[in-house]
Structure 1
């Protein structure tokens, strides 16, 4: 069976159970933490995939990777995944849960890139702008990229507003070349 299909099925079951238990927010945080650990700790996948490591030890490692406040729903989920020997798909299950949770709660992911740090007032205004247009709540990330020279780049869903100085200069240069 396809890893993607399995991952989505497990994630749907986890979300359904978490909603019933009223723990979907905590499970969301657990899955985000697990994803971060997978991305930043390369040995995590090797450890979890190690056939010599007992399921109890794997459970401890995965639970630790899920953060400090691991709820019962997450613990039962980890136990089920290990019992069914599906730990190789755990990363995809976590990613699928995050996607399903965001869809369930109408959460949009946005990113604001600026040439220098912006204060929280401007960041909140941009977040409110996105929330106004999407009719949902926004998880907002900010990045600093001095290469854009000034202005900003705002991205959410499939939308991208590039108001950077670098892009404006590139447009002017293109127009000058064409004339």
Structure 2
């Protein structure tokens, strides 16, 4: 079950304690590792969300998977989540942490969808243009290839959507043909 407020509160707590201990970057790497594990392993997600498996058994399995791969601080945080019966929200909490980390570090998450893979030169040109237009200094660019958009691009950041795709243009033209503005309504 999604619980954005709960995820935000726990993520904020982890950010705060990581900052206090000057381990924010270390915990960030741990969080990215944990997100990767959760996204790649359905068994891990099932373990975390299972109401049947006891908390101590969950912790021993998770600890065996991550031992030596994450810091003591992150390990204790996950143990606390299990103790408080919040492990079913683990992935959501970790993703909220990434968002809060980016905010603290001044990193702007941008998603760019194109019809085909960008060349490194085109990617660099796009990043420079985006920095110039938005005054973002640090950008974390996620690229997605979707041939259905035919050409152009779709840009998403901070809840904004810039759809400059051919697919959208064709939909707009189709809509204009369906509602011909130049044909008078005859009654």
Distance apart, 1:119 and its partner CA: 0.7
**Counterparts of 2:106 and 2:24 in 1: how far apart (Å)?**
14
Distance apart, 1:134 and its partner CA: 4.7
**Counterparts of 1:128 and 1:26 in 2: how far apart (Å)?**
29
After superposition, what is the alpha-carbon deviation per residue over 1:80-104, rounded to whole angstroms, capped at 9, x for unaligned? 3334443233223212211211221
What corresponds to 2:29 in structure 1? 29
**Counterparts of 1:145 and 1:5 in 2: how far apart (Å)?**
32
Contact kept in structure 1, 2:115 and 2:145, CA below 8 Å: yes
Distance apart, 1:5 and its partner CA: 4.4
**TM value normalised by structure 2:** 0.77
Q: 2:70 is paired with a residue of what secondary structure? A: coil
RMSD, aligned α-carbons: 2.6
What corresponds to 1:131 in structure 2? 131
Is 1:164 paired with 2:165? yes
Q: 1:59 is paired with a residue of what secondary structure? A: helix
Contact kept in structure 2, 1:31 and 1:98, CA below 8 Å: yes
After superposition, what is the alpha-carbon deviation per residue over 1:62-91, rounded to whole angstroms, capped at 9, x for unaligned? x26xxx852232123223333444323322
- Aligned pair partner of 1:51 in 50, 54, 69: 54
Distance apart, 1:33 and its partner CA: 2.9
Please list every run of 5 or more consecutive structure 1 residues that lacks an aligned counterpart in the other structure: none
Structure with max Cα Rg: 2
Please list every run of 5 or more consecutive structure 2 residues that lacks an aligned counterpart in the other structure: 183-187
What corresponds to 1:141 in structure 2? 142
What corresponds to 1:154 in structure 2? 155
Q: 1:7 is paired with a residue of what secondary structure? A: helix
**TM value normalised by structure 1:** 0.80
Is 1:60 paired with 2:64? yes
**Counterparts of 1:13 and 1:57 in 2: how far apart (Å)?**
24
What corresponds to 1:7 in structure 2? 7
Q: 1:75 to 1:154 in 2, by over 3 A?
A: same
Q: How many residues align?
A: 174
